[in-house]
Amino acid sequence: MPTQGQVRSANLATVLARLRDHGPRSRARLAADTGLTKATVSSLVGELVDRGLVAEGELHRPGSVGRPGTLVELDGRGVCGVGVEVNVDYLAVLVLDLRGTVRAERRLAVDVAGTPAAEVLVVASDLIVETLAAVPGTAVGLTVAVPGAVQGGVVRTAPNLPGWPGLDVAAGLAGTGLPVTVANDADLSALAEWSAGPHAHVADLVYLTGEVGVGGGVVTGGRLLRGSTGLGGEVGHLALTPGDAPCGCGRRGCWETVVGLGALLRAAADPGDPLRDPGRDLEDRLAEVVARARAGDARTLAALTDIGTGLGVGAAVLVALLDPAVVVLGGYFAHLGEFLLDPLTAALAARVDAPGRVALSTLGFTAAVRGGAHVALQPVLDDPTTVPHVRPALEAHA
């Protein structure tokens, strides 16, 4: 039921989205792009400038007749969104401006699993405030990425974060003064892949992340697949190999028992091997795996091939069902991609006719926070009038 003001909001959002997705351009170009008239676009741009969301850039007109246009571009000094990731052994914060540029990034080693959740929230809150202090713009929102199932803003289950299910995260972060959203980390990572990087705006993509378990996020038709209870896109416990190894979830044959980090390390190293020391930093251990594989260690290579094949078997199901344009591998899959891709694509090609392209994430471990920051910015992109005027409109009368 659009009313007049909503028309205005929608058109402001259209202009803003155009500038974000297609770069700076003149008012006249915006008018041609959107179908609105030049006069209307002028008015819209004026309002966006007043709200600090866009700014006029330099004149630009390379070698063509006619008056050159004034470029209009997103104003990065305006608003920004905050993504926070809570994981087993670290907290991460990333601040993104409207342009999609990273304005700040912090990472803090915290034994989240072994610390009371309330305390973690205090640490996180401090970290956020501290990070924002160094960023000029105004933060408009905060999204918390959690490795677990989230439903209606509440953590339902989080196998690796005892104490988090049911926790009121928003209340714990109220000190930041920002509206708080909570979401699944893999879902946010999928949105991050969708919003930036080589697969930006690929309407149908699947993101798979290898951690202790396996996380998944599905974007279909340009929207995140959520499902009826928010559990859509969870791939870790797909029952692909009945009767296989027992899973932490109490069942058997879940996909993550095949391709999770534990499966890799067990196959690649004996119990005493430093690779299987949970105290060592994960990236160090992954680097060690890469080193051994490059050195030609047979056991390591065999383990990686098995993982790759297991990934291909599962990916085949995802591709057949969801028909994504690309399957993006993140987490440890991305680190070890060079050894996984060949067996993966072989297993995939054996099972589906038109395999979606498989690619490695380029966002690394920042995918979830980046997606979170992106989500935090979304309300502004949907309705720019939520941002107050910085340069107030002139008062017409006393």
State the residues that interact with DNA by CB under 7 A. Answer: 3-5, 7-8, 11, 26-29, 35-40, 42-46, 59, 61, 63-70
Beta carbon of residue 387, minimum distance to a second copy (angstroms, whole number): 20
Beta carbon of residue 162, minimum distance to a second copy (angstroms, whole number): 18
Residues 6+ apart with CB under 8 A from 239: 251, 253, 254, 255
Beta carbon of residue 208, minimum distance to a second copy (angstroms, whole number): 12
| 228 binding a second copy? (CB under 8 A) | yes
Of 102, 104, 154, 238, the one binding a second copy (CB under 8 A) is 238
Nearest residue (CB) to DNA, 215 versus 384: 384
Of 186, 103, 181, 116, nearest in space to 147 by CA = 186
Of 74, 133, 123, nearest in space to 99 by CA = 74
Choose the contact partner of 171 out of a second copy, DNA, none; CB within 5 to 8 A by kind. none
| 244 binding a second copy? (CB under 8 A) | no
Choose the contact partner of 220 out of DNA, a second copy, none; CB within 5 to 8 A by kind. a second copy
Compute the distance between CA of residue 48 and CA of residue 50 in angstroms, rounded to an integer: 5
Compute the distance between CA of residue 48 and CA of residue 220 in angstroms, rounded to an integer: 31
Nearest residue (CB) to a second copy, 58 versus 353: 353
Compute the distance between CA of residue 59 and CA of residue 113 in angstroms, rounded to an integer: 54
Of 69, 245, 351, 379, the one binding a second copy (CB under 8 A) is 351
Compute the distance between CA of residue 324 and CA of residue 7 in angstroms, rounded to an integer: 33
CB-based contact 188:172 (threshold 8 Å): no
- Sign of the Cα torsion 331, 322, 373, 127 reads negative
Nearest residue (CB) to a second copy, 77 versus 252: 252
Token couple for 109 = 């080693």
Choose the contact partner of 43 out of DNA, a second copy, none; CB within 5 to 8 A by kind. DNA
Compute the distance between CA of residue 335 and CA of residue 365 in angstroms, rounded to an integer: 10
Chain residues that interact with a second copy, rule: CB under 8 A: 1-4, 6-7, 10-11, 14, 34-36, 202-204, 216, 218, 220-221, 223, 225-235, 237-240, 242, 249, 251, 313, 316-318, 320-325, 350-354, 356
